[in-house]
Structure 1
């Protein structure tokens, strides 16, 4: 059994801050945990507006709190995000995420992240990032 506490994880090397100041992510479950997916609690800062394209991962995102929108760059559709909204990037969707108010998100990635990933120039996570130690 694996048991982790969010407050403790936020004070460890499991908390990763975006170098572009759009988000921070506490990686609660990672590749080394051998579950086949990773689980993160991510805060999207108010005013964030950035492009992503997870070419190497599929992601599901559940909004716990806050308000924003996600725009599909495939078809131009804009979907509002608020507490209780789940969006799933099941086609390696190119998208823009905007936070009108700070958003707290629960995120699941497949394949799992190693721990230190931040977005590359294409808005993706690389597959060969360094692992975070427990």
Structure 2
């Protein structure tokens, strides 16, 4: 059994801050936990507006608080994101995420992240990274 608290994990190297200042992410469950997915609590800061394209991972995101939008770049369709919204990037969707307010998100990645990942120039996480 694995038991962790967000407060404790946020005080360790499991908390990653994006180099561009758009987000921070506390990675509660990682690849070396051997569950087949990773689980993160991510904060997207108010005013963030950035493009992502998870070419190597599938992601499900549940908005716990805050308000923003996601734009699917394939067709420029805009989806409002607010507390209680789940969005799923099931086709490696290239997208823009905008935060009108600070947003707290629960994120699940498959395959799981190792822990140190930040977005590359394409807005993706690499498949291979050093473990924390």
What is the TM-score normalised by the length of structure 2? Answer: 0.99
How do 1:65-104 and structure 2 match up within 5 A?
65-104=65-104
User: How far is 1:129 from its partner?
Assistant: 1.1
CA distance in 2, matches of 1:42, 1:130: 20
Q: Residues 24-49 of structure 1, C-alpha deviation per residue, up to 9 Å, x if partnerless?
A: 00000000000000000000000000
5+ residue gaps, structure 1: none
Determine helix, strand or coil for the equivalent of 1:19.
coil
Aligned pair count?
A: 132
What is the root-mean-square deviation in Å for CA atoms of aligned residues? 0.3
CA distance in 2, matches of 1:110, 1:86: 16
What is the TM-score normalised by the length of structure 1? Answer: 0.98
